[in-house]
Structure 1
Amino acid sequence: MKTLLLSVVCTLIGLNLCNAKTRLKDCEAYLKNDTLVIRNSQVEQKWLWNKGNIELLSFKNENTSSALSWKKENLFALGGSGFTKNVAFEIDRNRGDIFLPDHLAVYIENQHGNVFSKRILRIFPDVATISCDYYLKYEHLKTGFEEEQHKADGTEKHQKKHKKLQKSHAFAVGFDSKHWQIKTVNFKDATDIHDNLVYETTSIPYRSSEKRQGNLLIGEDLVGQSCFFLLKEAPNTASQIAYPGFDFEVSQGGVRVPFSGFPLQGRGDEWIKGYTITMGLAENQAGCLLALRQYLKASINYDPKQYEMVMMNTWGDRGQDGKISEAFILRELEEAEALGISHFQIDDGWQQGLSANSVHRSGRLWDAWTPENWMPNKERFPNGLTKVIKSAKKKGIRLGLWFHPSNENDYATWETDAEILINLNKETGIDYFKIDGVEIPTKEAAINLERFFEKVKKETNGDVFFNLDLTAGTRGGYFSYRPYGNLFLENRYTDWGNYYPFRTLRNVWTLALYFPPELLQVEFLNKWRNAGKYPADDLFAPGNYDFNYLFAIAMVGQPLAWFEATGLPAEAGSVAETISKYREVQADFHSGSILPIGDEPSGRSWTGFQSITEDGGYFLIFRENSSRSAAEIQTYLPAEQQVSLHKIMGDGSGEELILKVTSDQRLRFQLPAENTFVLYRYTKVD
């Protein structure tokens, strides 16, 4: 990352240079005596320097009474390779680039026998978190765990277990109290086979350690008023490289994060990056969730001009590439304009090389492609993409294309693939690319795929935006590739009878507690297709919902019109007014911290979302197939707060309402019928 201001560089000979405070906006860091301090207007961490083998001493929230002291525990320990010496120490004012916004970074490089470690502690302005990137340089790595088989003991069972060799961890904090409640959250992608995407486990640790799976750990002090979280910015458990079988080891003594993301064999003098660990602090779980949300948005360059979209992709009608042609796309663009669509993406089939998903038997390509394969198909687009681009531009619609990087030999041709997209962008002005078919089985594949993304972003000055498919394969999950674009969440099809609107709502609702839903593409389908694929008495079949309601489910994310517009009946045109109203407030709605409220969607619940800004926000409320005409829903507003509600769209009563929050933080909402919704903008009333 380019550093525009002079770095403060400290060596073993001159650590006194870092006594001076290095500042960037509200962030500052310095080393004084034997204490390393990193802070901003929200939080402060103090570390025992310990000759460079740092140990966390305290973590304080500057705006609440939350403060935690920690037992001494080396942040990093490698069994069999003790700490040798500190090699380098540096504090940088890092000005933003196309990947990260402005932030302050503390670099610590140490030697542990024959292994070298580099930690980068990052703090972003006005966010209550501090992140730790870590890198290793080695020939052979012994991470402290190995698999062994149980010996025969007469019980006739055979299983694997992890044997702890010596104390070893990539990140650790030591508890200074026995009384903690620990929640871990495990996420699922590969949504073609998973439809329950969030799993929570809660317990109170005891003396013996427990091994937990999940990207997120939330620890609540049962004595004081403090709550912290650890976010492991890695693929989901099934997709991590060199995964030891768990993500966190928890006991009364503290939390350790085992090594993962590192192959046994190193790359000589080349640094290998592990998975970033981000730590946040608040006074309760609600505060932790808000801090997590703020970090996930503030640590990327969320530009509404790039991120906000109502995209159409015709693949959802299961025509595959059978209809893809210049004439078909031009007709689709006409209908898309009438609906108010902002982005149109041509999925698999625009290219000369036909994939294995083609309706044509000649389609066989999947793992290996050539540049010639990625020319516009000569038969389907005899004029190239010229007419399509001209039509889209005239209509104010931004175009996107489908792309499958060659994953053969661990993305060995990543540079060639990057050049394909760079040239497409330069020649056509197309900025949006759906990335599909990804498989990341090895560290080499992970490194090369990241090189592919970074080269494209750098050489297009950040103009290219990726829609990253999460539906199948061994992929990056929810947290690995956030700087590159948004996430294509799921494929659901009426053809297969597996599209149920309440289940889509449920998936987004459960994810939204921990992940910004505005970073997800959320589909809505043509409800009139394939009615016969659903039982006549199926209460939750898509045909039982208003089309505007289906669109409203997607509004909390980036709506994805997963159908052919030319296949819609005339009555579907009524959604255009809803889309128009939504696009007027979309960026503002997504600018808040969006969290789920109400009951978990079940098809019969009162449920919804609250978008929280400093002085107001939005409520998106759904009455599913519930007999209750009103419901009191718990919110994130203060007790007894008066709020003014202005209806943006939907079925709620009254254009303007004044409501008062109850003592247990609830508001009463009314909707006139089953399967209706309303979107309100609210402001706090003094």
Structure 2
Amino acid sequence: MFDSTKKEQMMSEKILAELMDAVIRFDGRRLVLENSLVSRTVDFFKGCPETVSFRRTDLDLEFADPEEPGSDLSFAGITPPGAYDVVFQRQEVTAKCVPAGWAEAAHLEAEVTLFEPVQQVRFRLTYFLYPGVPAVGVRAAILSRVMPNLYWSYRDEMRAANDFLPVEQRSGAVDGFRLAPGFAPERSLEPVARTDVHDDLLLDHPALPGEEFFRGNLLWCRKETGAGVLVLQESSPSSERRDWAEFDFEVRDRRLRSCVWNAAPWELSPGVEIESGRSVTILAADEVERDCRLKAYLRGRFPTAPETHVAMVNPWGCGRFRELVGEEFLRREIAAAAVCGAECYQIDDTWQQGEGLGRLINVNEHLTPAFWKISEERLHGTFAGLLPVAEQSGVELALWCAPSSNVEFRDWEEFREFLLDFHRRWNFRFFKIDGVKIRTCEAERNLEALLRSVREATGGRVYFNLDTTAGQRPGYFRMVEYGNIFLENRYVCHEWGLGYHPEKTLRSLWQLARVMRPQLLQVEIPSPSDIRRSFYEKKGMPQPDLYPVEYWAAIALFANPLLWFAPSTVPEEICGRIRPLLELWRRHRDTILGGEIYPVGAAPDGKALTGLVSTGGWLIAFRELGAPEAGEFALTHFPEAEGRRWRLAAGEGSAEPVPGGVSLRLPEFPRFALFQLEV
């Protein structure tokens, strides 16, 4: 808390909310959001928000330039303050303490309402402040009586007609400020979803000299001394957004703008408030602290409970589930899931009366409630026949479903009741959500209302697996308080698609671990017995079973293992080789996933000595086919491991402490080695 001397110096300010070391104050003009690490001051003297200070108080370092800061806020086609006779009016400022829950850690929120009388536009700004994290988040909302003053069309002739407008008026910013002298963009990072068609899931865009526009969910601006500003956008991946602009960030004359409205200008409608994504600014002393503070923020923003981390079977990966599904088959599957070491079996598409996902995404069928009745032909209209074998095997049942994206999820209340009924009647706790297309703000509102209302109604017990393989979907930083991410459809059994290969799956995990928490990912483990060798020959790819199946399974140990096969069709020998690793993961997942996970070693490329480290006290190393036998990993994000010894927990290899990291030797290749830090 703040000492009494400091409070006396702030007699003109009113404390609106406090929580631990965090406080929000307002003096009638300036809003101050402050904790023990960061202090941000937003001036509303002109009616609009202008950030005049953004400091790391513990470093005594200023990151914002108060000279000509300009408005932090704008929306495409809405005349900005200062133009013509447009002046924003601040109407109301409130703040509150939000207690910890399943959706988010305890934090403070301030809400500021602004009104512009000429256009009859109301903005609502919400600021988010967490104790002990040098970050401030902002979300905006707009309610307008007028449409944006733009020509909108995908035809170049009409888009070009907007060029006479300043870029601030052609693209909307949710947050921004003028960077202090010396700060400049260094790179943006663009996580990529639609994993059915993309193999590289993180694009690194180094900033070019003089570059002003950037794509991605993260932007890093820094000084030569190392200190920097990281801006995170909690929104869909860049390529899946609905914004009118073709960029996500702008930095011009050191004015940083975070364009995360994710709303097309034509979506404004009288009486309908549109909310943006959240823009979060993290101030860091250097790149290592940047990564650590990002993970700390994400831990509080999207908390995961131990009961959400499970080793799950999804049989769709066998490629034949539709033709195999039936009550007797599922009985065998559930029993076999236990033999493999899994604890949850997810019944995928074709359990229902309706024909399947293709009717929604290909035929555009209007799905009625009858579609989601349990199939009479395949399951006798009930799951009751599966419950005894599930109980006997100690395997929990989960379910696949697909809300109605082709009606913008307008039937979400009906769909909620279907999910709640299945949860109460059959005790389903995990639902995979597939077929999602968030093409409008209405669809986004409705889908989030569905997910939130189900979690609220069940006290957070129901948890979703959010498929990110196709469509327009929330991605890695949006809606993941409602569930984890079903990352990839990577098959070994088909003649089409990108195809599974352990090198590619490891690369995906390693890349994403740079910017997000792998605790939120489901990572697939197919079965070598399902391999269609002609596919790999045609693609010119090495056969995936050049890597042992234990290697395949080990890749998933620092995430949530997803057995991507039908276990009753897999040879016992393969299940017997996967099971010990899943049992190890189940024994130690609380410490593996309880720490923060960072990539170490070289980026996986088929020739790398690579791996991941968990600050819970775990290290996993992988020697790819073309990798050297020995090498060193720098453990800069885990200084507590300095000089300590590592014990081999699984695989083959040795690890010896060296200054700043660890020296590794994996004598066989391709191999993995899992180590636990000795107490």
Give the 3-state SS of the residue equivalent to 1:555 in structure 2: helix
Please tell me whether the aligned partners of residues 367 and 407 of structure 1 are also in contact (alpha carbons under 8 angstroms).
Answer: no
Whole-Å Cα distance in 2 between the matches of residues 187 and 431 of structure 1?
29
Cα shift readout 1:316-359 (whole Å, capped 9, x = no counterpart): 0101311111111111111111121021100001111121549x
Deviation at 1:460, TM superposition (A): 2.0
Show structure 1 runs of 5+ residues with no match.
1-14, 152-157
Greater share of residues in strand: 1
Farther off after superposition, 85-94 or 263-272: 263-272
Farther off after superposition, 309-318 or 450-459: 450-459
* 2:667 paired with 1:672: yes
**1:567/1:119 CA distance change after superposition, 3 Å:** same
1:600 corresponds to which of 598, 603, 607: 603
State the partner residue of 1:80. Answer: 79
Cα shift readout 1:567-625 (whole Å, capped 9, x = no counterpart): 22232112211211111111211111211111111112100111125xxx221111111
Farther off after superposition, 549-558 or 120-129: 120-129
Give the 3-state SS of the residue equivalent to 2:481 in structure 1: helix
State the partner residue of 1:245. Answer: 246
Whole-Å Cα distance in 2 between the matches of residues 50 and 583 of structure 1?
56
State the partner residue of 2:200. Answer: 196
Please tell me whether the aligned partners of residues 332 and 564 of structure 1 are also in contact (alpha carbons under 8 angstroms).
Answer: yes
Please tell me whether the aligned partners of residues 124 and 141 of structure 2 are also in contact (alpha carbons under 8 angstroms).
Answer: yes
Deviation at 1:521, TM superposition (A): 0.8
* 2:93 paired with 1:96: no
> How many residue pairs are counted as aligned between the two chains?
648
State the partner residue of 2:341. Answer: 340
Whole-Å Cα distance in 1 between the matches of residues 147 and 653 of structure 2?
60
Whole-Å Cα distance in 2 between the matches of residues 162 and 649 of structure 1?
61
Cα shift readout 1:537-572 (whole Å, capped 9, x = no counterpart): 977322211111100111222111000111222321
**Which amino acid is 1:608 matched to?**
G
* 2:631 paired with 1:634: no
Farther off after superposition, 555-564 or 637-646: 637-646
* 2:386 paired with 1:388: yes
**1:564/1:295 CA distance change after superposition, 3 Å:** same
Deviation at 1:481, TM superposition (A): 1.2
* 2:103 paired with 1:106: no
Please tell me whether the aligned partners of residues 116 and 137 of structure 1 are also in contact (alpha carbons under 8 angstroms).
Answer: yes
Question: Following superposition of structure 1 onto structure 2, how do residues 411-430 of structure 1 map, counting pairs within 5 Å?
Answer: 411-430=409-428
State the partner residue of 2:14. Answer: 19
Greater share of residues in helix: 2
**Which amino acid is 1:110 matched to?**
L
Please tell me whether the aligned partners of residues 12 and 27 of structure 2 are also in contact (alpha carbons under 8 angstroms).
Answer: no
* 2:193 paired with 1:184: no
**1:28/1:537 CA distance change after superposition, 3 Å:** closer
**1:600/1:143 CA distance change after superposition, 3 Å:** farther
2:277 corresponds to which of 270, 275, 278: 275
* 2:239 paired with 1:234: no
Deviation at 1:634, TM superposition (A): 2.1
Cα shift readout 1:413-454 (whole Å, capped 9, x = no counterpart): 111111111111111110111111111222222221122212
Please tell me whether the aligned partners of residues 656 and 662 of structure 2 are also in contact (alpha carbons under 8 angstroms).
Answer: no
* 2:165 paired with 1:123: no
Question: Following superposition of structure 1 onto structure 2, how do residues 567-606 of structure 1 map, counting pairs within 5 Å?
Answer: 567-572=569-574, 573-606=576-609
Deviation at 1:528, TM superposition (A): 2.4
Give the 3-state SS of the residue equivalent to 2:613 in structure 1: strand
* 2:612 paired with 1:609: yes
Please tell me whether the aligned partners of residues 630 and 668 of structure 1 are also in contact (alpha carbons under 8 angstroms).
Answer: yes
Give the 3-state SS of the residue equivalent to 2:503 in structure 1: helix
**1:145/1:558 CA distance change after superposition, 3 Å:** farther
**1:181/1:262 CA distance change after superposition, 3 Å:** closer
Whole-Å Cα distance in 1 between the matches of residues 160 and 629 of structure 2?
54
Cα shift readout 1:215-254 (whole Å, capped 9, x = no counterpart): 11011112x4411111111111222123311111123422
Whole-Å Cα distance in 2 between the matches of residues 121 and 363 of structure 1?
38
Deviation at 1:371, TM superposition (A): 1.9
Deviation at 1:641, TM superposition (A): 3.0
Give the 3-state SS of the residue equivalent to 1:420 in structure 2: helix
Please tell me whether the aligned partners of residues 236 and 475 of structure 2 are also in contact (alpha carbons under 8 angstroms).
Answer: yes
State the partner residue of 2:7. Answer: none
Give the 3-state SS of the residue equivalent to 1:642 in structure 2: coil
Whole-Å Cα distance in 2 between the matches of residues 349 and 432 of structure 1?
17
Deviation at 1:112, TM superposition (A): 2.3
2:566 corresponds to which of 559, 564, 567: 564
Please tell me whether the aligned partners of residues 641 and 677 of structure 2 are also in contact (alpha carbons under 8 angstroms).
Answer: no
**1:676/1:164 CA distance change after superposition, 3 Å:** farther
Whole-Å Cα distance in 2 between the matches of residues 336 and 86 of structure 1?
59
Question: Following superposition of structure 1 onto structure 2, how do residues 259-298 of structure 1 map, counting pairs within 5 Å?
Answer: 259-298=261-300
State the partner residue of 1:154. Answer: none
State the partner residue of 2:216. Answer: 214
State the partner residue of 2:507. Answer: 506
Show structure 2 runs of 5+ residues with no match.
1-9, 82-86
Deviation at 1:164, TM superposition (A): 5.8
Deviation at 1:51, TM superposition (A): 5.5
Please tell me whether the aligned partners of residues 356 and 365 of structure 1 are also in contact (alpha carbons under 8 angstroms).
Answer: no
**Which amino acid is 2:446 matched to?**
N
State TM-score, norm by structure 2.
Answer: 0.89
State the partner residue of 1:433. Answer: 431
State the partner residue of 1:3. Answer: none
**1:275/1:75 CA distance change after superposition, 3 Å:** same
Deviation at 1:518, TM superposition (A): 1.6
**1:161/1:70 CA distance change after superposition, 3 Å:** farther
* 2:35 paired with 1:40: yes
**Which amino acid is 2:195 matched to?**
T
**Which amino acid is 2:178 matched to?**
G
Deviation at 1:277, TM superposition (A): 0.3
**1:530/1:161 CA distance change after superposition, 3 Å:** farther
Whole-Å Cα distance in 1 between the matches of residues 491 and 142 of structure 2?
44
Whole-Å Cα distance in 1 between the matches of residues 474 and 31 of structure 2?
33
Please tell me whether the aligned partners of residues 357 and 402 of structure 2 are also in contact (alpha carbons under 8 angstroms).
Answer: no
Whole-Å Cα distance in 1 between the matches of residues 447 and 123 of structure 2?
23
State the partner residue of 1:660. Answer: 658
* 2:584 paired with 1:622: no
1:31 corresponds to which of 23, 26, 30: 26
**1:433/1:162 CA distance change after superposition, 3 Å:** farther
* 2:460 paired with 1:462: yes
* 2:679 paired with 1:681: no
State the partner residue of 2:4. Answer: none
State the partner residue of 1:472. Answer: 470
Identical amino acids, percent of aligned pairs = 26
**1:317/1:381 CA distance change after superposition, 3 Å:** same
State TM-score, norm by structure 1.
Answer: 0.88
Whole-Å Cα distance in 1 between the matches of residues 519 and 492 of structure 2?
25
**Which amino acid is 1:675 matched to?**
P
Please tell me whether the aligned partners of residues 262 and 272 of structure 1 are also in contact (alpha carbons under 8 angstroms).
Answer: no
Please tell me whether the aligned partners of residues 66 and 225 of structure 1 are also in contact (alpha carbons under 8 angstroms).
Answer: no
Deviation at 1:143, TM superposition (A): 7.3
**Which amino acid is 1:314 matched to?**
P
Farther off after superposition, 309-318 or 522-531: 522-531
Deviation at 1:198, TM superposition (A): 1.3
Please tell me whether the aligned partners of residues 228 and 285 of structure 2 are also in contact (alpha carbons under 8 angstroms).
Answer: yes
Whole-Å Cα distance in 1 between the matches of residues 335 and 407 of structure 2?
42
Farther off after superposition, 76-85 or 415-424: 76-85
Whole-Å Cα distance in 1 between the matches of residues 613 and 284 of structure 2?
20
**Which amino acid is 1:610 matched to?**
V
Please tell me whether the aligned partners of residues 522 and 558 of structure 1 are also in contact (alpha carbons under 8 angstroms).
Answer: yes
Question: Following superposition of structure 1 onto structure 2, how do residues 522-541 of structure 1 map, counting pairs within 5 Å?
Answer: 522-533=523-534, 534-535=536-537, 540-541=542-543
